[in-house]
């Protein structure tokens, strides 16, 4: 654990930081020199000298850039300090641009550990502190162990600052004031590679690109050119990278009151999701994944929606799995909730005109703690929003709906992938539902009791 922070401890990142930051250039240089050496005379190291003569300015440029990057990196490393004192966490940078990031412990939403490939080779990791609004703060790089210690210390501080009503650690009433966050760990869900691949290739984005690629191939075979296909293959590769490589070896781990996600093939990401920050859950299934019975589970976490760095933030609680995995993930997030208990309501017959193919599937449900909706043709989805997380209600009616006497009720929550909408209800029913949801939200806000029941916390 962190040193007793009575006196503010000021620390530097790990000394190897400049090396990791310049690793792309170093690797390029290394490969280049290695190839020269292989192709040239093995025994004669001096043949490397020839490379500089033969390749001239190009190689020199790479070398100079690498050196500059490392020198800059060293100065930046000297000039960067982070300090965890009693009231706040500070990151001080005093190199060319001076900056002092002050992070109030109570503002910390989550602390994630990321290990890009190069950092992983050297046993280093970067810390990513999510502070809700605005971009997160990064500390590059720490030793893996130090990063974990710091994460635990920051999370402990931040939960101590939270109002006791929503303190996640209260799940375990037996422990003392400061329970160790990383102590009891339980593996909830893993993702199998085959499942990841199926979910990736059945996604709408992948299928659309793939159809275009086939169309292009037909055109190219009948006398067209092949080169533009690259423009389609690259994004296809991108989808595989994010959905398969990025989620490789996915594990959802329950530790104390919070959930932890560890994933990635080349870069390993460890992300902590505080359960009380989860605003809603989406369970979804691409149409073509139906025969395989595979689903994914996404969450909306307060503050994640604003993040710009899509690679660093992941809203998946289960990237690909069977219905059993869905249940396990749901149980870990909201132990007080059972999906099978939801009383589903269908749509009125007039709604057939607007939902030709999804009429039977669509529906909504009001249960004790949660509003749920079910819809989608290409991507079937079930959205769950606790009453305690409702930010507002929208009741809307477009011209076609007005002709049929229908209306929609949409629940507003913080931005993210979840969006619960009861589509196409009879007008009067819709207005009643809107008022019911408003009332449910009101009583859920009063006392946070509904949330405690959901998270299975004893208040």
Partner 1 sequence: MEEEKVAVDPLNDLFCSPTEAWTSLDPNYLKVRRIWVLVFWPTLLIAIALGLGLMWRSWWPAIVCGIVAIPWIGLMYWREGRLFRARGFAERETDLYVKEGLLIRQLTIIPYGRMQVIQVNAGPISRAFGVASVELVTAGPSATIPGLNAKEAVALRDRLSLRGQQQQAGL
| Cα–Cα distance measured from residue 366 to residue 99, given in angstroms and rounded to the nearest whole number | 49
Q: Is 311 helix (H, G, I), strand (E, B) or coil?
A: coil
For residues 301 and 109, the answer to whether their CB atoms sit within 8 Å is yes
Please, what is the angle between helix 57-79 and helix 47-55, to 10°? 100
Binding to partner 1 by CB under 8 A, coded x per residue (else -) over 144-183, reads -------------------x-xx-----------------
Nearer to partner 1, 316 or 408 (CB): 408
Q: Is 364 helix (H, G, I), strand (E, B) or coil?
A: strand
Q: What six digits make up the tokens of 263? A: 């994933």
Interaction of residue 350 with partner 1, rule CB under 8 A: no
Nearer to partner 1, 318 or 388 (CB): 388
Nearer to partner 1, 21 or 109 (CB): 109
Helix (H) or strand (E) segment spanning residue 337? none
Measure CA 304 to chain center.
8
| Cα–Cα distance measured from residue 130 to residue 112, given in angstroms and rounded to the nearest whole number | 8
Nearer to partner 1, 74 or 165 (CB): 165
Show the CA angle centred on residue 159, arms to residues 156 and 160, nearest 5°: 80
Minimum CB–partner distance for residue 163 and partner 1 (Å): 6
Q: Binders of partner 1 among 263-282, rule CB under 8 A?
A: 277
Interaction of residue 420 with partner 1, rule CB under 8 A: no
ω into residue 141 within 30 of 0, thus cis?
yes
Q: Binders of partner 1 among 353-412, rule CB under 8 A?
A: 388, 390-399, 402, 405, 407, 412
Among 415, 417, 421, 436, binds partner 1 (CB under 8 A): 415
Minimum CB–partner distance for residue 394 and partner 1 (Å): 5
Nearer to partner 1, 78 or 446 (CB): 446
Count of residues touching partner 1 (by CB under 8 A): 35
Minimum CB–partner distance for residue 294 and partner 1 (Å): 30
Q: What six digits make up the tokens of 299? A: 């969450």
Measure CA 323 to chain center.
21
Interaction of residue 302 with partner 1, rule CB under 8 A: yes
Minimum CB–partner distance for residue 329 and partner 1 (Å): 23
Interaction of residue 450 with partner 1, rule CB under 8 A: no
Q: What six digits make up the tokens of 4? A: 């007793």
| Cα–Cα distance measured from residue 261 to residue 115, given in angstroms and rounded to the nearest whole number | 13
| 145 exposure class (CB count in 10 Å sphere: 0-12, 13-18, 19+) | exposed
Interaction of residue 459 with partner 1, rule CB under 8 A: no
Q: Which residue ranges make up the site for partner 1 (CB under 8 A)?
A: 163, 165-166, 277, 302, 388, 390-399, 402, 405, 407, 412-415, 427-428, 430-431, 434-435, 438, 441-442, 445-446, 448
């Amino acid at each position: 654990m962190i040193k007793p922070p009575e006196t503010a401890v000021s620390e530097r990142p790990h000394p190897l930081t400049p090396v990791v930051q310049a690793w792309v250039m170093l690797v390029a240089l290394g490969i280049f020199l290695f190839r020269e050496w292989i192709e040239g005379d093995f025994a004669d190291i001096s043949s490397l000298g020839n490379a500089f003569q033969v390749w001239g300015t190009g190689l020199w440029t790479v070398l100079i850039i690498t050196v500059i990057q490392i020198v800059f990196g060293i100065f930046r490393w000297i000039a960067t300090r982070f300090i965890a004192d009693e009231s706040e966490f500070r990151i001080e940078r005093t190199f060319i641009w001076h900056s002092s990031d002050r992070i109030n412990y109570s503002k910390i939403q989550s602390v994630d550990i990321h290990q890009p490939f190069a950092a992983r080779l050297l046993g280093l990791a970067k810390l990513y502190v999510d502070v809700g609004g605005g971009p997160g703060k990064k500390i590059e790089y720490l030793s893996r162990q130090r990063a974990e210690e710091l994460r635990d210390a920051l999370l402990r501080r931040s939960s101590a600052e939270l109002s006791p009503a929503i303190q996640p650690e209260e799940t375990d009433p037996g422990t003392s004031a400061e329970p160790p966050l990383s102590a009891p760990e339980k593996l909830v869900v893993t993702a199998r590679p085959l499942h990841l691949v199926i979910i990736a290739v059945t996604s709408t984005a992948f299928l659309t690109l793939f159809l275009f690629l086939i169309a292009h191939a037909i055109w190219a075979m009948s006398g067209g050119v092949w080169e533009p296909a690259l423009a389609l293959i690259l994004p296809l590769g991108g989808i595989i990278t994010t959905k398969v490589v990025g989620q490789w070896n996915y594990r959802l781990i329950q530790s104390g009151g919070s959930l932890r996600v560890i994933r990635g093939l080349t870069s390993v990401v460890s992300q902590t999701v505080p359960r009380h920050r989860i605003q809603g859950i989406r369970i979804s299934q691409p149409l073509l994944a139906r025969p395989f019975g595979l689903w994914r589970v996404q969450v909306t976490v307060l503050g994640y929606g604003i993040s710009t760095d899509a690679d660093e933030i992941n809203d998946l609680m289960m990237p690909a799995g069977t219905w059993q995995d869905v249940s396990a993930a749901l149980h870990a997030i909201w132990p007080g909730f059972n999906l099978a208990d939801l009383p589903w309501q269908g749509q009125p017959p007039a709604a057939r005109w607007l939902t030709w193919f999804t009429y039977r599937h669509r529906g909504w449900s009001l249960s004790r703690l949660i509003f749920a909706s079910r819809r989608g043709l290409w991507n079937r989805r079930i959205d769950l929003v606790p009453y305690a997380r409702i930010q507002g209600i929208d009741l809307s009616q477009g011209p076609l709906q007005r002709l049929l006497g229908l209306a929609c009720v949409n629940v507003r929550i913080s931005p993210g992938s979840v969006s619960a909408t009861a589509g196409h209800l009879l007008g009067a029913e819709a207005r009643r539902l809107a008022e019911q949801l408003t009332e449910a939200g009101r009583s859920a806000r009063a006392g946070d009791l509904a949330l405690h029941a959901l998270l299975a916390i004893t208040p």
